[in-house]
Amino acid sequence: MGAAMSKTPPRTFHVKSFGCQMNVYDGERMAELMAAEGLTATVDAASADLVVLNTCHIREKATEKVYSDIGRLRKDDPAKMIAVAGCVAQAEGEEIVRRAKVDVVVGPQAYHNLPKLVADAAKGEAALDTDMPVLSKFDALPARRKVGPTAFLTVQEGCDKFCTYCVVPYTRGAETSRPFGEIVDEAKALVDAGAREMTLLGQNVNAWSDDDGRGLHDLIRALDRIAGLARIRYTTSHPNDMTQELIDAHRDVEKLMPFLHLPVQAGSDRVLRAMNRSHTRDSYLRVLDRVRAARPDIALSGDFIVGFPGETEAEFAETLSLIDEVRHAQAFSFKYSPRPGTPAATMDGQIAPEVMDERLQRLQEALNRDQLAFNKASVGRRCAVLIERRGKLPGQMLGKSPWLQSVHLQTDAPIGSIVEVELLSAGPNSLTAREIPSPPVSVAAA
């Protein structure tokens, strides 16, 4: 490796996460690990002895951002220790050391070894670990100490689906599920540390299963029994792993929030086949029918890719018509980005950037229209809001509705509390609400 010179062992650190929710979760756990080693967290990268860049490889832009960050950090402080973690570390390994001067490279399944790698780097030794020892990292991590009303909890990692555009099966490895008891223990620790809401994470979170034949719905029902936990969410799901038991949990488990993020990617069966998505337009829509039957007020979300190789104007129009049919409460949409080593990157019919830009714009117009319509349809509703942080105005707080909408309101309720509100007005990205005072504790009537 490039780091032949020894460096002073770092006393302060900063973790910067670039990717999905699981990447953020990994960042939190790396921070807890370094804190347990006696290092102090800083508020920014500039003031830290050690900067951990927790990277994402999903699209080209995300990957390139890492290299510009490394360049800037190096220029400002040549003595700073830089560790590249996350999915770029896994995908590029030694290549990062060739392209940029970094001290440590650690993959998403090996970050429990970060303290040792940092110590090696301080001695001027090679410090690269991109092994994938299935799940052992969780055993080696310190207990959770995160505080805050919302928490992420990884229950499943990796992906066996191999969509032809996607790097995740290569950067995260094969599908594996964490053991039931370990997850329940971590959930309890997070609730003890102040979490009121838990989002269960996995690349295919609804593929979670164990040797006793349990599925994600059993896990949700177990978390439902934890006193002090008020809300349960999960993400990201694959349409093919949406079991009836999981759908039933949306009907039966009050703590399970009425929100489902279920990526579809495209509305044309030919494109879905070329993507190796293993569901069709119709099978996707039928899953949503069953979900809506179980939980009529469910808010639906999805991911879309425009400009997959070979996508014709007529096929793109099928994505627009699918959107018209579903009416999402929110969604993420992306221009197709060819990723090295994936089958789609070398397919014929790569789409010109201008065409992708134009399609993305039309897609986002449709999605924005539906998001605003969903928010406007919520006005007048009463619901619970979990207060997450202070707003910009005096006395204003910001929280989330059950449907994952951001809600602003005036209240004295502290962060972490749940208040009853009436939703008053809606914009594209948030709503306003008025707190409904809780009824006075009744004095025994004479």
Among 203, 235, 237, 371, indicate the residue that binds ligand SF4 (CB under 6 A).
203
Does residue 238 interact with ligand SF4 by CB under 6 A? yes
Q: Which does 162 bind (CB under 5 to 8 A by kind): ligand F3S, ligand SF4, ligand SAH, none?
A: ligand SF4
Distance, in Å, from the CA atom of 408 to the CA atom of 396, rounded to the nearest integer, reads 7
Burial 215-226 (b: 16+ CB within 10 A, else e): bbbbbbbebeeb
Distance, in Å, from the CA atom of 146 to the CA atom of 159, rounded to the nearest integer, reads 27
Among 316, 334, 374, 403, indicate the residue that binds ligand SAH (CB under 6 A).
334
Segment interacting with ligand F3S, rule: CB under 6 A, options 137-145, 165-173, 384-392, 422-430 = 165-173
Segment interacting with ligand SF4, rule: CB under 6 A, options 78-86, 156-164, 321-329, 395-403 = 156-164
Residue type (1 letter), 80: K
Gyration radius of the chain's alpha carbons:
23
Does residue 162 interact with ligand SF4 by CB under 6 A? yes
Q: Which does 59 bind (CB under 5 to 8 A by kind): ligand F3S, ligand SAH, ligand SF4, none?
A: ligand SAH
Residue indicated by tokens 């004479």: 446
Q: Which does 171 bind (CB under 5 to 8 A by kind): ligand SF4, ligand F3S, ligand SAH, none?
A: ligand F3S
Distance, in Å, from the CA atom of 385 to the CA atom of 234, rounded to the nearest integer, reads 18
Distance, in Å, from the CA atom of 313 to the CA atom of 324, rounded to the nearest integer, reads 17
Which of 282, 290, 319, 280 is CA-nearest to residue 303? 319
Residue type (1 letter), 381: R
Q: CA angle 144-28-100, nearest 5°? A: 145
Does residue 284 interact with ligand SAH by CB under 6 A? no
Does residue 91 interact with ligand SF4 by CB under 6 A? no
195 with 151: CB under 8 angstroms? yes
What string marks each residue from 269 to 308 as x (binds ligand SF4 by CB under 6 A) or -? ----------------------------------------
Does residue 266 interact with ligand SF4 by CB under 6 A? no
Which residues, other chains included, contact 27 with Cβ-Cβ below 8 Å and sequence gap of 6+? Answer: 15, 16, 17, 52, 54
Residue type (1 letter), 237: S
Segment interacting with ligand SAH, rule: CB under 6 A, options 48-56, 110-118, 319-327, 333-341 = 333-341
Which of residues 236 and 319 has its CB atom nearest to ligand SAH in the complex?
236
Residue indicated by tokens 């996995």: 202
Does residue 22 interact with ligand F3S by CB under 6 A? yes
Does residue 336 interact with ligand SAH by CB under 6 A? yes
Which residue has its beta carbon closest to ligand SAH? 303
User: Quick one: tokens of 278?
Assistant: 């293993």
Distance, in Å, from the CA atom of 381 to the CA atom of 369, rounded to the nearest integer, reads 20
Map the footprint of ligand SF4 across residues 163-182, applying CB under 6 A.
Answer: 163, 166, 168-169
CA atoms within 13 A on the CB side of 24: 10
Which residues contact ligand F3S (rule: CB under 6 A)? Answer: 19-20, 22-23, 56-58, 86-87, 167-168, 171-172
Which residues contact ligand SF4 (rule: CB under 6 A)? Answer: 159, 161-163, 166, 168-169, 203-204, 238
Which residues contact ligand SAH (rule: CB under 6 A)? Answer: 58-59, 165-166, 168, 203, 236, 238, 263, 265, 303, 305, 334, 336-337, 339
